[in-house]
Amino acid sequence: THNKKKMTCYTINFPHFSEVKSLSVGIENGYSLQKGKQYINPLPVVFYGSSITHGGCASRPGMTYPNIISRHLDTDIINLGFSGNAKGEEVIAKYISDLDMSVFVLDYDHNAPDFKYLENTHERMFKIIREKNPTLPIIIMTRSSILHPETRKRRIEVIRRTYENA
């Protein structure tokens, strides 16, 4: 602080597709850099999903939907968005089930190659995570595409069935 001015907290969102080799922060004389404030929620929200979750289409890193949610809920996140590669695999479900988290967001519909694949993996992934985390809030999302309405309808039925069986 300088001249009894109010402290300001900043968040730096690193780029998604670039390696950060160094970081410098410039501050004026008389000001100080201190540890940031803790999030209100002690455990992060874990997101698992497609390139949309990852932030591949965001105009800048802070504009990914998980980062926007992080700011609004004052909570840390773990972003397990994998462009084209989040497909509800059992090994990743087991990994996620071992994480300490406050909420889990299941959002890989876009990456499931077809309806049948989604049908074979979606509820199984949910159950693996639920088994180790019986009281964890889990948010299940569908893709937002308006293309191929009949295919979309079948995918929503799979995801709705996971929800109803939960």
- Per-residue model confidence as pLDDT tens for the chain (166 residues): 445 577 788 888 888 778 899 999 888 888 888 888 889 999 999 999 988 888 888 888 889 999 999 999 999 999 999 988 999 999 999 999 999 999 999 999 888 888 899 999 999 999 999 999 999 999 998 876 666 667 788 888 999 999 999 9
What pairing do the DSSP bridges indicate for beta strands 41-49 and 75-81?
Answer: parallel
Residue pair 88/112 in contact by the 8 Å Cβ criterion: yes
Between the alpha carbon of residue 132 and those of residues 20, 29, 74, 105, 129, the distances in Å are: 35, 51, 26, 16, 6
Report pLDDT for 164.
94
Report pLDDT for 148.
64
Number of alpha carbons in the 13 Å side-chain half-sphere of residue 92: 17
